[in-house]
């Protein structure tokens, strides 16, 4: 829905600036990609993430951070030659 009014505004601005048709198509393509990306990110973050779907969960990060065992570090006394 945002493409039509935004397309009119961009078209009028580009005609007023008097740029070539190639640049006009390029700018309108960039705006379309930006709007598509924004809508896609909104849908993903609103409706997909943090949802329990059947037997799996869709998240960016786990709820509890996994614990990683820390390996023992070498002490200077264990590095002697001989």
| Average confidence (pLDDT) over 13-31 | 82
Residue 71: its pLDDT value, please?
Answer: 65
Q: What pLDDT is recorded for position 52?
A: 66
Instruction: Tell me whether residue 64 is in a domain.
Output: no
Domain count, the chain: 1
Cα dihedral across residues 24, 30, 34, 40: positive or negative: positive
| In a domain? residue 51 | yes
Q: Does 42 map to a domain?
A: yes
Torsion of CA 20, 26, 29, 35, to 10 degrees: -100
Kindly tell me if the per-residue pLDDT of 82 is higher than 60: no
Provide mean pLDDT across the span 45-49.
76
Domain assignment present for residue 50? The answer is yes
Would residue 35 count as lying in a domain?
Answer: yes
Give this prediction's pTM: 0.53
15: domain range? 3-55
Whether residue 24 lies inside any domain: the answer is yes
pLDDT of residue 63 exceeding 80, the answer is: no
> Does residue 14 lie in a domain region?
yes
């Amino acid at each position: 829905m945002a493409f039509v009014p935004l397309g009119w505004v961009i078209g009028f601005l580009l005609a007023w600036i008097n740029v070539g048709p190639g640049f006009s198509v390029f700018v309108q393509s960039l705006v379309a990609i930006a709007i598509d990306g924004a809508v896609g990110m909104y849908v993903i973050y609103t409706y997909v993430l943090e949802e329990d779907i059947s037997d799996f969960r869709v998240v960016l990060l786990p709820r509890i951070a996994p614990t990683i065992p820390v390996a023992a570090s070498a002490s200077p006394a264990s590095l002697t030659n001989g």
